[in-house]
Structure 1
Amino acid sequence: MQVDDTDRRILRQLLAEPSLGSAELAERAGVTAATAWRRIEKLAQAGVIRGQHAVIDWRALGWAVEVSLRFTLDKTHPRAFDEFLAAARGVPEVIEIQTFLGRVDVRLNVIARDMGHYQEVYRDRILTLPHIADIESLMLVSTIKDTGSLPL
């Protein structure tokens, strides 16, 4: 799909403030409400806009610890990836799962209420995941940049 300057203006406004009403969005993007609505529908149908959702700050809800765990899997088992990923999806404290090509196979982003809770999750839920050959843990100290915006 070709995205033109009007689409980019609309997308910039959506990224900046997703809760804007259609009239305000159209005004900020410099188009009519009907044009904004048609463009948003077209972008959604093309898969450029995949949806809108609430972003909840889990830290504000008392989850103080975030750890990135990098796994190398024992790939001698033909279903190692599938079985590991299926089990990891079942851990409520895992908020993100990514797979990679290279030395690291999978990264899990794990949250916990405190270090005691993290130790419990790590011991009882993470170490019991199947086909682990190696784990590297990275404790989050601070987030310098966290944005969903694009250079539009």
Structure 2
Amino acid sequence: MHLDAFDRAIIRSLQEDARMPVAQVAERAALSPTPVSRRIKRLEDDGLILGYQPVLDARRLGFELDAYVLINLDGHSDENISRFEQAIQDNAYVIACHAVTGDMDYLVHVIARDVEHLSQITLKSLVRIPGVRDVKSIIVLETIKDARALPLE
């Protein structure tokens, strides 16, 4: 998809604050509000803008611990993969899951209240998914960068 300078300015503004009024986005993009509204609608219709959601503070919600869990399956049958992926979809504490290359099959991003809660999520849920062979956890000590805005080159 080709983005011109106006599209990039609009997207940059919305990535900074998706609730920014169209008039303010228009001012930043050096356009009037009507063409900015049309461009935003086109970006949404074309699937570049997938939606809008608030960014919540996990710590204020009681989730003090951020962890990544590396998981290997004991086999890669369609049934095994489907069962695993459904269990991941159903787990509210799993906030992201990626199939990856390398020694492990999946990288699972988990939030938890504390180490004990992470232990419960891992031992009572993730390890018990049929077909899971190996599980390794990595606890985040400090977040150096957590950018949500994508580069618009």
TM-score by length of 2: 0.92
**Displacement of 1:76 after TM fit?**
5.4
**Displacement of 1:103 after TM fit?**
2.4
**Displacement of 1:40 after TM fit?**
0.5
Rounded to whole Å, the distance in 2 between the matches of 1:20 and 1:77 is: 47
What does residue 136 of structure 2 align with?
A: 136
AA partner of residue 39 (structure 1): R
Matched, 1:16 2:19: no
Rounded to whole Å, the distance in 2 between the matches of 1:146 and 1:19 is: 20
Q: Deviations over 1:118-140 (max 9, x none)?
A: 22222211211121121121111
TM-score by length of 1: 0.92
What does residue 60 of structure 2 align with?
A: 60
Deviates further, 19-28 or 110-119: 110-119
Rounded to whole Å, the distance in 2 between the matches of 1:150 and 1:6 is: 16
Q: Is the 8 A contact 1:25 1:36 kept in 2?
A: yes
**Displacement of 1:90 after TM fit?**
1.8
Rounded to whole Å, the distance in 1 between the matches of 2:114 and 2:137 is: 16
AA partner of residue 45 (structure 1): D
What does residue 31 of structure 2 align with?
A: 31
Q: Is the 8 A contact 1:75 1:131 kept in 2?
A: yes
User: Which secondary structure state, in structure 2, belongs to the residue aligned with residue 79 of structure 1?
Assistant: helix
Q: Deviations over 1:39-70 (max 9, x none)?
A: 11111111111111111111111111111001
Q: Is the 8 A contact 1:68 1:139 kept in 2?
A: yes
Give unmatched runs, 5+ long, in structure 2.
none
Rounded to whole Å, the distance in 2 between the matches of 1:11 and 1:76 is: 39
What does residue 85 of structure 1 align with?
A: 85
AA partner of residue 11 (structure 1): I
Report sequence identity in percent.
32
- Aligned pair in 2 of structure 1 residues 102, 34: CA closer, same or farther (>3 Å)? same
Structure 1 outlier segments of 4+, above 3 Å: none
Matched, 1:5 2:5: yes
Q: Number of aligned pairs?
A: 152
Give unmatched runs, 5+ long, in structure 1.
none
Q: Is the 8 A contact 1:69 1:137 kept in 2?
A: yes
Q: Is the 8 A contact 1:87 1:130 kept in 2?
A: no
User: Which secondary structure state, in structure 1, belongs to the residue aligned with residue 12 of structure 2?
Assistant: helix
Deviates further, 76-85 or 136-145: 76-85
**Displacement of 1:75 after TM fit?**
1.6
Rounded to whole Å, the distance in 2 between the matches of 1:74 and 1:81 is: 10
